[in-house]
Every structure is written in structure tokens, then in C-alpha cells.
Amino acid sequence: MPYSNEIITLEQFIVDQQALYKDAGGSLSRIFRSIELAAKVVNRDVRKAGLVDILGNQGSTNTHGEDQKKLDVIANDRFINALSKSGEVSVVISEENDEPIFVEGSEEEKYIVAIDPLDGSSNIDVNASIGTIFSIYRRPSSSKVANEKDLYQKGKHQVAAGYVIYGSSTMLVYTTGLGVNGFTLDDSIQEFCLSHPNIQIPTDGKIFSVNEGNYAEFPQGVKNYVEYCKSKDKETNRPYGARYIGSLIADFHRNLLKGGIFMYPPTPKTPNGKLRLMYECNPMSFLIEQAGGKSSTGTARILEVEPTDLHQRVPIFIGSANMVDLAVKMYQEAEVATV
Ligand code: AHM
Ligand code: MG
């Protein structure tokens, strides 16, 4: 019988699981090792952010016209470097880079990794949780250098996805399609240790997360759902709690553990919502489905969306299965009624 207090490190867990996700050559494991290393380094950077001059804007804007904070730039470099050195990744695509990065000397390798190196960056200087999101694809083509077909894959083809949250503790949560597991960084030994095995999101939740400041611009169906969440009903335990940090990882992580729904709907100002398909919506959707939840654009399963641009945005409704079903139903009914 296994000793119940046994510490299982991320590295050990991945080695044990390797055979299950058909990674006999260890390629994916090596990619994970580089993500783990970069995460530890970025964690160190984040923890000392208030002490050294790495807070504030870098002075450049990223491909979406947003200010880049210094830490965004640092985290981006750290992850790109680590992934490039893994020897397994042919292309890195990053929310912070306009163009895909073809890794010199690894052009023929079989994996493509998409990253949002520091999500929720507007929260850096107010000390709220931020994080890194990653998403891994295998190249379908055997061409020497990755082609468009390799880069523009639907989310359902991800072989692994996860995030690192730099919060009150630092956690790495990931899936390879065999459930979702969470590891907490033990600072004293600098190891991610299994703390949240086989995470399942409750089918019904009591939290709704949406930027209600945009309410006037919401589609009618989303307004209806928000009103539903806020109205009183004993049987369904309403009103639900409203929680919105403005950092997807933090909002997602809380809802994953407690049950809830996160929404970034389309508005006239942001007709495709705000969040990026490749760097945010696909990885989070893979995770939520593996945890028993759901994720939709309002009209389609996120993982079925055909990418047409590496930086495209999509509306998102993600979280507890019953909450997403109802939100999507109300959204669609109102859309039909306005046609
Ligand atoms: P970022 O990748 O530039 O940090 O932006 C994405 C963030 C998400 O983390 C968060 O869910 C969302 O933007 C919040 O947007 P808003 O401030 O419009 O509510
Ligand atoms: Mg982001």
C-alpha cells in the first residue's frame, strides 16, 4: 500500500504517466521539464517584483496594442528560451510576439507550443494573482519546417495544456487528456508537488465571473443570465456570488476548484470578446473539459473553432457544465428572438 504522506513531484508524476499518454520517447516530458524550469524562474521574478526595478511598463506595446509590462517581457523571454532549449519544439507562438518563432536548429521537431507568458498583467503592480498559460500541439505534417496546417490547429488537437498561477502560492495545473492534476511549488525544496490530484469541477456552481462594467453592452441573453444569477431562488441557492479579478487564470482557477462560470461575451466594442483563442481559450477549454466542465463561444464548442489568425479572439462561456449550458441557452434564445 502506498504511504499516504508520500510526496509526488511533478517530475516523478510525469515519468509515471509517460507510458499512459504514449510519450515513450519522452519528448513531451522534456517539454514539461522546460516549462517547469521557466515557471520556477518566473516565479522568482514575480516574487521579487516589488523589490527591484522590474515593475511598470516596458515602453513597448504588444501585438494587440496593449502596454507590455516589464515582467511580461521577462516572462516571455524565459519561456521562449526554455522551450527553445528543450530540443523538442519547432515553433513557439506567443501572445506577446506578432510572428511565430521558428526555433533555430529545431525546425524539424514535432511539437508546437503556444504561450501567454504572463496573463493578467494589469494586475502585476497591484499584487493580484497572475499566471502563465501553455498549450502543446503535435505537428501533423512531416515537412522540414512547420507549415500553416501545423500552426492553425483546432483546440481539440492539443496534446497537453495547463497554466502556472503565481498566487498566494504558486501552482502548476495541467492535462494531457488524462484528467487534470495540480501541483503546488514547495519553496523550500523548489519542487512542484502533487497537491490537487484529479481535479473535477462541480457540475453546478454558485459563482459568476464577468466584467459587469460592460453590462450595458452585453447581448440581451447575457444580460438575462446575469439577472438570473443575481435573482433570489431558494431551490437553486441563488443569488450566486459575483467574483471577478480581471486575471483569467485567477478567475478560472477559483471557479475550477469551487464551481462557477466565467464569461467574456461579445460586445459592440469587442465583437469577438477579448480573450485569445490560441493562448487563453483553447488551453483553458481543454482543461475544463478534462475536469468535467464545459466551454463555448455561445454558438460552438471552443475546441472546435477553426483558427484563422494566431492572435484571434473568441467570446467565451466556461466553467461548471450546468451553468454553461444555461448561459448558452439563454444567449442563443435571445439571439434568435432578435433576428
Ligand atoms: P492580458 O493577457 O493582456 O493580461 O489580458 C487578458 C486579461 C484576462 O486575464 C482577463 O480575464 C481579462 O483580460 C480581463 O479583461 P477586462 O479588464 O476587460 O475585464
Ligand atoms: Mg492573457
* Structural domain ending residue among the three candidates 172, 196, 220: 196
Atom of ligand 1 nearest to the CA of 120: 4
Q: What is the pLDDT, as a whole number, of residue 57?
A: 62
Q: How many structural domains is the chain composed of?
A: 2
* Structural domain ending residue among the three candidates 134, 169, 196: 196
Q: What share of the chain is helix, strand, coil (3-state, %, to 5)?
A: 35, 25, 40
Q: What is the pLDDT, as a whole number, of residue 65?
A: 66
Question: Ligand 1, residues 58, 61, 209, 248: which to mutate, most atoms within 8 A of Cβ?
Answer: 248
Residues 329 and 262 in one domain: yes
Residues 146 and 248 in one domain: no
Q: What is the pLDDT, as a whole number, of residue 3?
A: 47
256 lines ligand 1 (CB under 6 A): no
Residue 197 CA to residue 173 CA, distance in Å, equals: 10
Residues 119 and 174 in one domain: yes
Residues 6+ apart with CB under 8 A from 89: 31, 83, 103, 106, 109, 111, 112, 113
Q: Which ligand places an atom closest to the C-alpha of 121? A: 1
Number of other CB atoms surrounding residue 79 within 10 Å:
28
Q: What is the pLDDT, as a whole number, of residue 1?
A: 42
**CATH number for position 297:** 3.40.190.80
3 within a domain of the structure (yes/no): no
* Structural domain ending residue among the three candidates 141, 168, 196: 196
Cis bond upstream, residue 2 (ω within 30): no
Q: Which domain holds residue 36?
A: 10-196
Residues 259 and 323 in one domain: yes
Model's pTM, two decimal places? 0.94
**CATH number for position 187:** 3.30.540.10
Atom of ligand 1 nearest to the CA of 246: 14
274 lines ligand 1 (CB under 6 A): yes
Which residue puts its alpha carbon closest to atom 16 of ligand 1?
A: 246
5 within a domain of the structure (yes/no): no
Residues 276 and 184 in one domain: no
How remote is the C-alpha of 301 from its chain's centroid? 16
Residues 180 and 241 in one domain: no
229 within a domain of the structure (yes/no): yes
201 within a domain of the structure (yes/no): no
Atom of ligand 1 nearest to the CA of 130: 9
> What is the full per-residue pLDDT of the chain (339 aa) written as tens digits?
444 578 999 999 998 888 888 777 899 999 999 999 999 999 999 988 776 666 556 666 667 666 655 888 999 999 999 999 999 999 999 999 999 999 999 999 999 999 999 999 888 888 899 999 999 999 999 899 999 999 999 999 999 999 999 999 999 999 999 999 999 999 999 999 999 999 999 999 999 999 999 999 999 999 999 999 999 999 999 999 999 999 999 999 999 999 999 999 999 999 999 999 999 999 999 999 999 999 999 999 999 999 999 999 999 999 999 999 999 999 999 988 876
Residue 107 CA to residue 13 CA, distance in Å, equals: 29
Q: What is the pLDDT, as a whole number, of residue 24?
A: 74
- Residue given cell 492535462 in the structure block: 175
How remote is the C-alpha of 116 from its chain's centroid? 8
160 lines ligand 1 (CB under 6 A): no
